[in-house]
Structure 1
Amino acid sequence: MKDPMLELTHILQAVSFIDTPQQQIRFIVDSVSAAVNRDVCSLYRVNTKHEMELLISHGLQVNQPICIPAGKGLVGLVAKERHGLNLAIASAQSAYFYVQGTKEEQFNSFCGVPLVHHGEVVGVLVVQNKKAQVLSEQEEAFLLTLAAQLAFIMVNIPKSHDIGVKQNIRYKGIKSVEGIALGKALLCGLTQLSEVVDVHNDKPQESVQEWQKLLSQVQDDLINEQKSLGDNMSPSICSIFDAYHLLLSDVVLSEKIEEYIYDGFALPSAIKHGIYFFANHFKKMADPYLNARAEDIIHLGNKLIHIWKGGGKHASVEHKSPVILIGAQVSVSDIASIPSEFLAGIICFEGSSLSHTSILANAMGIPAVMGIGQIKNVDMHDFMIVDGNEAQVILQPSALLKKAYKRLIRQEQKVTIKLHSLKTLAAITLDHYEVELLTNTGLLADITPGVKSGAQGVGLYRTEIPFMVGDSFPSEDEQVRVYRRVFEAYEGKPVYMRTLDIGGDKQLPYFPIRHEDNPALGWRGIRFTLDNIQLLMTQVRAMLRASSGMKSLHILLPMVTSSHELTQFSIVLKDAYTQLQADGLSMHWPKVGIMIEVPAAVSQIPLWANRLDFISIGSNDLSQYLLALDRNNPHVADRYDHVHPAVIHEVYRTVQLAKQYQLPLSLCGEMASDPIAVVLLMGMGIQRLSMSAAKLPRIKWLIRNIEVQWAQQILADCLLLDDVDDIRCHIQQAMKDKGLQDMFKIDDRKMKRG
């Protein structure tokens, strides 16, 4: 065969432009048959009965559905043994299984390779030939490599009875935020310039006319988008639209694209080269603000390509009905641009349950599903269902299915009403152990839900979110206005404000941190702010000014790993306080604590105890670093679990150290809202939990219906277990025995795997 890597690249590039999984697999089997010069290429899928179901074939005669019984035939053998099989004479093998009616007997050779997704065999790719000869090592390696890519397509192919049906198309993803949402799709993250393949043409005049028409269409489209957002647009979002209008009206941009057209490029190729020409100029500029304008140009180029491909007719969306944001990565700006009363759900092709988008959705109580893989057959305004409870997305739901899901929503609303009666009651156990429940927040839109849920304060205010929504660093006065509203909403209650925590999965659009091989271990948290001390000084001054006249402010430092960082921050805080005192501002000295999210911090608690007022366990990052699992990587998301034995033991050690050195302790992150984890935390003696407002009422109900002694016994049992599935199973059974299961949709994902 030709160069296998070139063949593979060609096939995968072409597949990326094909709309549906069915069309994709048809193209693949035809292309593979040609690439390895074999008569037959077939794709089998494992069905619910563990049979090998023939999905599609190039070369076999298929007049009816074909299923090879479980464990039978060479295809079944490949699936069972999970490795390839390369034979010159297939029929000579004892495992050979003839399928009637396919005329398979005329093909002698057989090569099958398994398709594996998240450790499970989901299908088998087979090639056959009349001539009795095995595939070469190069050809077999080509099939193995392609099969690894094909597995991701396989999981999104509708079941056999759904093929050809345009209703109830289901996509499975990663559980992010529980709940159910029905609404119309609003696409985020448009077609990428990088996907455009260079194509030449010999009709430049026609392409120039097409460009002028497209330019006018995009300008009209931007105006319509601004009108649809109306008064809900923040100044930062307005400035983005202004930048787009300026770029589109710049004659130099238009002339450059026309220049590429006259050089022989088709319109999309000319747009790509023209946009990249100007973007690269901005990227070379030393000024961070001008450098970041390259992103604006790239985004505009993506929009031009999207509308050229036919996306323009759906560009405007009036937010007068429930909206479901869907895209590869739904951004903070996307979320902030939709009025909260109309934002029903979020779907991301990429990401995990602990990606930043997922955390934001959780904070706002918006049903969300992550990591569902690329969906190509969805368009703007398509009606869809987000089932966060089962981590699935349903396109084009039937009337019957809509009715069933609406019934589930009504049931959930009844539970919510029941839980609302707990708002003014304390989170106190049956044996009189009281727990303080606080809320996580970061968006102003998320302040009210916490108050309504009965939160006793803010356990984690993510100050980076106002930074991420804008297109430049917010001024001190801007920060004061935002922070002041938080203090006023929770007057008389503690507010734990975390200093700017960017880096890793949280990037600022106007100050991106690039060229880090491992961002999670890179320039983030306190490391970033101490290196940009002017930003930290401005933020600390804003916190102090906003909390003037109140005793609510608690400052949280993220990613602390050394005493030097504590010393440096103390100097900044003292300087900021002294400056504001000199200006005549009356304020209280804030309490200062650190996030326990890096394992190195746990061991240093005894050394830092006399320098800290409190500590807060950041369970998301602590779990990630202890398990060496990237929480945003969908390939390993299923292995991440905050009740892993290593996490439980380290959290327990932290709690014991805090008690020994009389340091007030709280815990935030997803662990605080997972009922199974909360049972363990109650057993450890934690008395302060911070979580999203949406999760708070259920956790309060749980605490009010258990005894600490019961939780302590469960903790003792689980500290002896070495498997996360066993831990979840043990606690789930204990909760069922106590009659607690009806209030919780307990995540039994790990149990099923075990």
Structure 2
Amino acid sequence: MEGRVGVTGARRLLGRLRDVMAGSGTAQERLDQIVQLIAADMEAEVCSAYIMRAGDILELCATEGLFPESVHRTRLRVGEGLVGVIAATARPLALSDAQAHPAFAYRPETGEEIYHSLMGVPILRSGRVSGVLVVQNRSQRHYTDEEIEALQTVAMVLAELIAAGALVDVEEQHPTDGIGTLPHRLDGVRLNAGLAIGTAVLHQPSIVINQLVAEDPEAESLRLDAAIGEMQRSIDRMLSASELAHGGEHRDILETYRMFAEDRGWLGRIREAVESGLTAEAAVQKVRDDTRARMKQISDPYIRERLTDLEDLANRLQHHLSGSVITAAAEVETDDVVLVARTMGPAELMDYDRARLRALVLEEGSPTAHVAVVARALDIPVVGRVKGALAQLEPGDQLVVDGDNAQVLVRPSEDVQAAVESRLAERRSRKAAYAALRELPAVTLDGIAIGLYMNAGLLIDLPELDATRAEGIGLYRTELPFMTRQDFPDVADQTALYTRVLDQAGDRPVAFRTLDIGGDKLLPYLPETVEENPAMGWRALRISLDHPAMLRTQLRAMLLAANGRLLQVMFPMVSEVAEFAAARRILDMELERACEHGVPLPSHLKVGVMLEVPALIWQLESLCRQVDFISVGSNDLMQFLFAKDRGNARLADRYDVLSPAALSCLGEIVRAADQYGVSLSLCGEMASSPVDAMALIGLGFRNLSMSPSAIGPVKAMIRTLDVGPLRQYLADATRQTSHSLREKLREFARDHGVSV
């Protein structure tokens, strides 16, 4: 029998199952018939169906071959035994000697000890595991890929029987926290800051597949091809008409999306599913569920983003086949939409009317996800990784999306809604007040000028230079465009990008940070290494020095883009002066090459470092003799100073950057920079908080780089600050042993009329 299950066998089995599903009898009777049919057709002594119940419990609901009395008695937790492993991983498992597997769990009531080989597949519906389907044989049988594929196809039919709720109550098939309709809070991560209130709209309307098994596979293939063609044409029309269709990284993202719509591997898997006997809609659903299961097993953010694009396209293709709307966008009636989705592709967000869209809530997502990039361009608050959002939210629910604090308030009470509306009104008022300060200088009451710069990483950030009147870009993160591509951009592509940045900046300086990759920022075209402590591992300048050709390409593009203008380059994650010297030698090689090729040199070249590693603090004298400027990366510096993983929720609030230790450390850097006349700035999150920025100015920082939205509040603080008393206050306070000086600094601000 090995290898005998092919396209013809799968079609025959599906046809028989279709007859059973359409026949009379209870759901239990039909399930019993189904396991009997599968066992006979696949020449297996055993076929068993386990169905998920509440509490992540898998219950044996039907079997052919095991002891009948074990039905509805045998239960396994997810992760327990081989069946539990299949449910936990959502992946098939085929073993010729199942009992030798370390996860094998013997249940005497089943009588399965005489069966040696096992093949099992998850029963998937909408990306969730609703059960496990298993066949077993007495002999040590080697199951083929064709047999696994056939069992997966059958499992999809079973998923529809389970979903009907006659075997296990529908309420048991959905995760719940028991909250019901009471107001509550969902936590996530911030993908884009901001605050909004609105009505929940679930992104993808459910599609009911009325027919799973095809009566005419050839006709289904023709339907599929026609739908694929229409989908591809509709994507072309949508992207050409989009307000984001021209320029910048968005274009790269959208072109990549278009490319995936023509991916042969993905389309080929759907066509194979149709050939096995499924309808076109069911074939797309099968590949879609497989994709979702794969996503749960992959941690690489770039690969997950690729799979998210395929998920998006599967949704579109299903709707083209069914003739229904592609997303909820066409059905939205409310004027204050809070969009809720498991995940989204970048083009899907653009289906919605921007004037009605208030916020976005995702069950998944990362700051570099394509949809997050587009959302930032549209200034939409986004909270991602909100676990169980779709299970707990209903269409029409009132939601408050607090992007600043990464929270979603569900069905808020009237007093909470009133408080949020008040906060929104205050934000609008403050925004107007900050706009009034836009043309005024950032100068303290005692006449000290503070340079306010903005952080950027995408071309869409650059219009904020004019909107905020920032003095320049203190940190341009060059790695973000690299992370939205499938291969390393060549010199021409990089030159075009850096040229546009400098052109839009005009006469304002731009500090380009060379690639800061590694850690949580991975490139798909570099070999990935598994590290126990990636934040302190092979990343940033360490990678660049190990791949000098990559660094030379980037520096060459920056020199070409400068084209006789000011160029500022800074190297990240420098741990010792020798590393900076090595990077500077590579830059000098590119300067020599530019001279040889007649490339106009920058009118002025400034080379600096990101001070993020504490070891560099004890080399400041040597460092200051070699650099033109130092930019303190406070996020990493504080992480390393306190041995505190920034991603660890337990440590998030344990240590404060306004502690005496942290401020003393920053004070040492200021003193060294002043002594040697080196320009100094800070470009971490500290610069974006008015209280933190006030402390930095009191320590002696005179240049701060921050997110564009922070420039207004920080400028308002500066224009109400007298630095003299603050400097003396900090000199005394940093000698204390307090956990934090934050509240004391707030009290200082209140006592001295400083706007924080």
**Does the TM-score normalized on the shorter chain lie above 0.5?**
yes
Q: 1:562 to 1:344 in 2, by over 3 A?
A: farther
**How many angstroms apart in 2 are the aligned matches of 1:341 and 1:468?**
30
Q: 1:328 to 1:671 in 2, by over 3 A?
A: farther
Aligned residue in 2 for 1:612: 627
Q: 1:208 to 1:571 in 2, by over 3 A?
A: farther
1:246 to 245, 262, 284: 262
**How many angstroms apart in 1 are the aligned matches of 2:569 and 2:203?**
35
**How many angstroms apart in 2 are the aligned matches of 1:469 and 1:270?**
28
**SS, match of residue 427 in structure 1:** coil
Q: Does 1:503 align with 2:515?
A: no
The aligned amino acid for 1:315 is T
The aligned amino acid for 2:269 is L
Aligned length: 573
1:581 to 576, 591, 595: 595
1:462 to 468, 477, 495: 477
Q: 1:206 to 1:720 in 2, by over 3 A?
A: farther
Unaligned ranges ≥5, structure 2: 1-49, 59-71, 78-174
**SS, match of residue 394 in structure 1:** strand
**How many angstroms apart in 2 are the aligned matches of 1:577 and 1:213?**
59
Aligned residue in 2 for 1:287: none
The aligned amino acid for 1:164 is T
Aligned residue in 2 for 1:376: 390
2:253 to 217, 232, 237: 237
Aligned residue in 1 for 2:555: 540
- Cα shift at 1:555: 0.4
Aligned residue in 1 for 2:327: 315
- Cα shift at 1:521: 1.8
- What are the superposed Cα offsets for residues 653-693 of structure 1, whole Å, 9 maximum, x if unpaired? 22222223322110011100112211221111111100011
**How many angstroms apart in 2 are the aligned matches of 1:441 and 1:173?**
24
Q: Does 1:561 align with 2:575?
A: yes
**How many angstroms apart in 2 are the aligned matches of 1:503 and 1:733?**
40
**How many angstroms apart in 1 are the aligned matches of 2:294 and 2:480?**
29
**How many angstroms apart in 1 are the aligned matches of 2:662 and 2:368?**
16
2:532 to 517, 528, 532: 517
Aligned residue in 1 for 2:37: none
Q: 1:259 to 1:331 in 2, by over 3 A?
A: closer
- Contact 1:175-1:388 within 8 A present in 2 as well: yes
- Cα shift at 1:582: 2.6
Give the structure-1-normalised TM-score: 0.63
Aligned residue in 2 for 1:24: none
- Cα shift at 1:235: 4.1
- Cα shift at 1:720: 3.4
**How many angstroms apart in 2 are the aligned matches of 1:640 and 1:348?**
29
- What are the superposed Cα offsets for residues 552-609 of structure 1, whole Å, 9 maximum, x if unpaired? x210101111344223322221222222223322222511111011112222222222
Aligned residue in 1 for 2:450: 435
**How many angstroms apart in 1 are the aligned matches of 2:637 and 2:623?**
18
- Cα shift at 1:340: 9.2
Aligned residue in 2 for 1:593: 608
Q: 1:663 to 1:306 in 2, by over 3 A?
A: same
The aligned amino acid for 1:480 is T
**SS, match of residue 417 in structure 1:** helix
**How many angstroms apart in 1 are the aligned matches of 2:265 and 2:355?**
35
The aligned amino acid for 2:263 is L
**How many angstroms apart in 1 are the aligned matches of 2:702 and 2:349?**
33
**How many angstroms apart in 2 are the aligned matches of 1:333 and 1:510?**
24
The aligned amino acid for 2:572 is P
The aligned amino acid for 2:327 is A
**How many angstroms apart in 1 are the aligned matches of 2:647 and 2:662?**
18
1:655 to 670, 682, 686: 670
- Contact 2:184-2:410 within 8 A present in 1 as well: yes
- Cα shift at 1:696: 0.4
1:164 to 155, 165, 181: 181
The aligned amino acid for 1:580 is A
**How many angstroms apart in 1 are the aligned matches of 2:194 and 2:529?**
36
**How many angstroms apart in 2 are the aligned matches of 1:584 and 1:466?**
28
- Contact 1:347-1:368 within 8 A present in 2 as well: yes
**How many angstroms apart in 1 are the aligned matches of 2:260 and 2:625?**
53
Q: 1:269 to 1:239 in 2, by over 3 A?
A: closer
Q: 1:672-691 to 2 correspondence within 5 Å?
A: 672-691=687-706
- Contact 2:305-2:369 within 8 A present in 1 as well: no
Aligned residue in 2 for 1:300: 310
**How many angstroms apart in 1 are the aligned matches of 2:494 and 2:353?**
22
- Contact 2:205-2:328 within 8 A present in 1 as well: no
Q: Alpha carbon RMSD of aligned pairs, Å?
A: 5.0
**SS, match of residue 595 in structure 1:** strand
**How many angstroms apart in 1 are the aligned matches of 2:652 and 2:313?**
31
Aligned residue in 2 for 1:529: 544
Aligned residue in 1 for 2:136: none
**How many angstroms apart in 2 are the aligned matches of 1:453 and 1:383?**
33
- Cα shift at 1:11: 6.5
- Cα shift at 1:228: 3.8
- What are the superposed Cα offsets for residues 386-445 of structure 1, whole Å, 9 maximum, x if unpaired? 224565323567899777645543432222222222222221111112211111111111
**How many angstroms apart in 2 are the aligned matches of 1:626 and 1:171?**
32
- Contact 1:419-1:698 within 8 A present in 2 as well: yes
The aligned amino acid for 1:727 is L
**SS, match of residue 584 in structure 1:** coil
**How many angstroms apart in 1 are the aligned matches of 2:549 and 2:670?**
35
Q: 1:57-456 to 2 correspondence within 5 Å?
A: 158=179, 163-164=180-181, 170-173=185-188, 179-182=194-197, 224=234, 227-229=237-239, 230-231=241-242, 232-233=244-245, 234-247=250-263, 252-254=268-270, 256-257=272-273, 271=287, 296=306, 299-300=309-310, 304=314, 315=327, 317=329, 345=359, 347=361, 367-369=381-383, 372-377=386-391, 378=393, 384-388=399-403, 391-395=406-410, 405-406=420-421, 408-456=423-471
- Contact 1:505-1:632 within 8 A present in 2 as well: no
- Cα shift at 1:612: 0.9
- Contact 2:309-2:345 within 8 A present in 1 as well: no
- Cα shift at 1:463: 0.9
Q: Does 1:484 align with 2:484?
A: no
Unaligned ranges ≥5, structure 1: 1-6, 16-30, 37-152, 192-200, 284-291, 745-754
The aligned amino acid for 1:596 is L
Aligned residue in 2 for 1:727: 741
**How many angstroms apart in 2 are the aligned matches of 1:322 and 1:348?**
17
**SS, match of residue 261 in structure 2:** helix
**How many angstroms apart in 2 are the aligned matches of 1:221 and 1:570?**
50
**How many angstroms apart in 1 are the aligned matches of 2:303 and 2:563?**
37
The aligned amino acid for 2:310 is L
- Contact 2:203-2:328 within 8 A present in 1 as well: no
- Contact 2:312-2:344 within 8 A present in 1 as well: no
- Cα shift at 1:503: 1.3
- What are the superposed Cα offsets for residues 466-495 of structure 1, whole Å, 9 maximum, x if unpaired? 212333322322222222222223333221
Aligned residue in 2 for 1:111: none
**SS, match of residue 497 in structure 1:** strand
- Contact 2:186-2:386 within 8 A present in 1 as well: yes
**How many angstroms apart in 1 are the aligned matches of 2:460 and 2:260?**
27
The aligned amino acid for 2:585 is I
- What are the superposed Cα offsets for residues 491-546 of structure 1, whole Å, 9 maximum, x if unpaired? 33221110111111222355473423322122211112222222211211111121
Give the structure-2-normalised TM-score: 0.63
Aligned residue in 2 for 1:710: 725
- Cα shift at 1:454: 1.4
**How many angstroms apart in 2 are the aligned matches of 1:355 and 1:680?**
34
% same residue: 30
- Contact 1:605-1:657 within 8 A present in 2 as well: yes
**SS, match of residue 246 in structure 1:** coil
- Contact 1:438-1:458 within 8 A present in 2 as well: yes
**How many angstroms apart in 1 are the aligned matches of 2:557 and 2:734?**
44
**How many angstroms apart in 2 are the aligned matches of 1:555 and 1:221?**
44
